[in-house]
Amino acid sequence: MKNYFEKGTIVFWANDGEVVVYDSINEAYEKEHIELSKEKFIKALGADREVKSGVTAFRYGVDIEATEGYDEAREEEEDFNENQ
């Protein structure tokens, strides 16, 4: 399976497919204007819990289940686009 980001990259993945990445938890927390406390935001990373409306976030390569789900979805999208 292809690695799309460096390990530890914070990935925000919206329900509409939009992806935004940050190099650190601090940068992600500040730039995304998260309404959760920083502690709750960190606990929500990698979980099935939204960090803001319609958006989940995870640490690429650290939150294994979320990383695998993202990689699988991304590969499916690439395969679909190649076959169009």
pLDDT cut 90: percent of the chain above it: 88
**pLDDT at residue 48, rounded to an integer:** 87
Instruction: Return all residues near 12 (Cβ < 8 A) that are at least 6 apart.
Output: 19, 20, 21, 22, 28, 32, 51, 55, 56, 57
Q: Minimal CA–CA distance to 50: which of 83, 14, 22?
A: 14
**pLDDT at residue 4, rounded to an integer:** 94
* Separation of CA 55 from chain center: 8
Tens digits of residue pLDDT in 27-59: 999 999 999 999 999 999 999 899 999 999 999
80 near 27, Cβ under 8 Å? no
Average pLDDT, the chain: 94
For domain 10-82, give the fold.
Arc Repressor Mutant, subunit A (1.10.10)
